[in-house]
Chain A
């Protein structure tokens, strides 16, 4: 193979350029004006043609036989690292699809694929399961908060003994023990009041009054069946 500066040709710039470019003339990647110049020189230069022929021969000899490296074996070794990368990502990585079957290998059956997917060490479905659990807990928490809010609503149920009921009571009334219930209701309605609680352990009834309580109190006291009718507010105790 000739040196770039052929003693016979001297430092012919075209020869030097062609010598430098011969490998890429041989592999077909030369282009444009450079290709034209080099081809024109090679056509007239015996030394360059001999070098080019040797390069074609070396190229045709090929890269030699492959060693027994195995892409699938190597990929299998890489998978754990890929998985750990996915798990440490900030969650932007999408859920990876099932591994594609290796070329030349039988495609695993549906059952086998699901077994693989459900394997306890498969981070893909574990991540989905954790996300689903989180959503479930969030929904339950929201429902609980909503229920608590409703307890404060005006239409909520109140027990008679609850503080709210007592807050509405303004009068306390007792009746003769033999007073029928129908007569009791008539007296309360006629007096302009309504029952908000009772009977208590002393057979007293708590009445609510809209507006002024004094005339209501007077009407109740006028009823023979009423044995006691007193206001619940800051009334002086006897």
Chain B
């Protein structure tokens, strides 16, 4: 546990150093930061829209803000909190804060998995089921769920990203998992 905390602390410092170099106009540092954050942001955003060009555009808009405003990053929060907060705002703006369900397209690739080993197929089936259920949640609940389960963030950090009180995050998560439980009732077997 201590080792994990130490590693996380080092990574946090490395990212802060990288942002410092970006603030000085170092494009190589920016590209390193870009390649580090692109997949994380894209996975976060693909729950909000299935449009790949739009995902790439929102990520670019987000990281362009990072490039422009790196000098204003004061280190009081984690770099990831700062970057995800920008991305969340950009996404809400780009999607006009609509809570429209995304087109999950979850069943498209299920048939492709038919030849895979059973455990792999089961994993894919679960992922698609969760994917489809998440797609039916309001955007704010979906975002809070993802940041918790797929980005391993604490509630305080999520509250900072979503610019809302901690209790709001907890309530959103509570409602999100309650709805997910209903939606997944017939599809998801609990693994002890």
* A contact residues vs B (CB 8 Å cutoff): 1, 3-4, 19-24, 26-30, 50-51, 53-71, 73-75, 77-78, 81-82, 85-86, 89, 92-94, 96-97, 99-100, 103
Interface of B is mostly: helix
Selected from A23, A60, A75, A96, the residue in CB contact (under 8 A) with B173 is: A23
How far, in angstroms, from A27 to B155 measured CA to CA in the complex?
Answer: 11
A–B complex contacts, Cβ < 8 Å, 14 sampled? A20-B173, A23-B148, A54-B190, A60-B191, A61-B127, A63-B127, A63-B146, A64-B127, A65-B109, A67-B42, A69-B52, A78-B64, A96-B28, A100-B28
CB-nearest residue of chain A to B109: A65
Which of B10-18, B53-61, B91-99 faces chain A?
Answer: B53-61
Contact between B34 and A94 (Cβ–Cβ < 8 Å)? no
CB-nearest residue of chain B to A27: B152
| Total residue contacts A-B, CB cutoff 8 A | 153
Contacts of B184 in A (CB 8 A): 58
Size of the chain B interface, CB-CB below 8 angstroms? 58
Selected from A55, A68, A71, the residue in CB contact (under 8 A) with B39 is: A71
Determine whether B35 belongs to the interface, using a CB cutoff of 8 Å to chain A.
yes
CB-nearest residue of chain B to A102: B35
Contact between A64 and B149 (Cβ–Cβ < 8 Å)? no
Selected from A4, A50, A51, A82, the residue in CB contact (under 8 A) with B67 is: A82
Contact between B30 and A69 (Cβ–Cβ < 8 Å)? no
Contact between A53 and B39 (Cβ–Cβ < 8 Å)? no
Expressed in whole angstroms, the minimum distance between the Cβ of A35 and any Cβ of chain B is: 11
Determine whether B177 belongs to the interface, using a CB cutoff of 8 Å to chain A.
yes
How far, in angstroms, from A196 to B9 measured CA to CA in the complex?
Answer: 89
Expressed in whole angstroms, the minimum distance between the Cβ of B189 and any Cβ of chain A is: 8
Query: 1/0 per position for B142-185, CB-CB distance to A under 8 A?
Result: 00011011101111000000000000001001100110110010
Contacts of B174 in A (CB 8 A): 4, 19-20
Contact between A24 and B127 (Cβ–Cβ < 8 Å)? no
Contact between A64 and B131 (Cβ–Cβ < 8 Å)? yes
Contact between B42 and A61 (Cβ–Cβ < 8 Å)? no
Contact between A74 and B38 (Cβ–Cβ < 8 Å)? yes
Nearest 7 A/B pairs, CB to CB: A93-B25, A1-B181, A61-B126, A29-B154, A96-B27, A71-B38, A74-B56
Contact between B28 and A78 (Cβ–Cβ < 8 Å)? no
Point out which of A3, A27, A93 has the most chain B C-beta atoms below 10 A from its C-beta.
A27
B27-41 residues with Cβ-Cβ distance < 8 A to A are 27-28, 30-32, 34-35, 38-39
How far, in angstroms, from A26 to B149 measured CA to CA in the complex?
Answer: 8
Selected from A4, A58, A99, A103, the residue in CB contact (under 8 A) with B149 is: A58
Contact between A66 and B43 (Cβ–Cβ < 8 Å)? yes
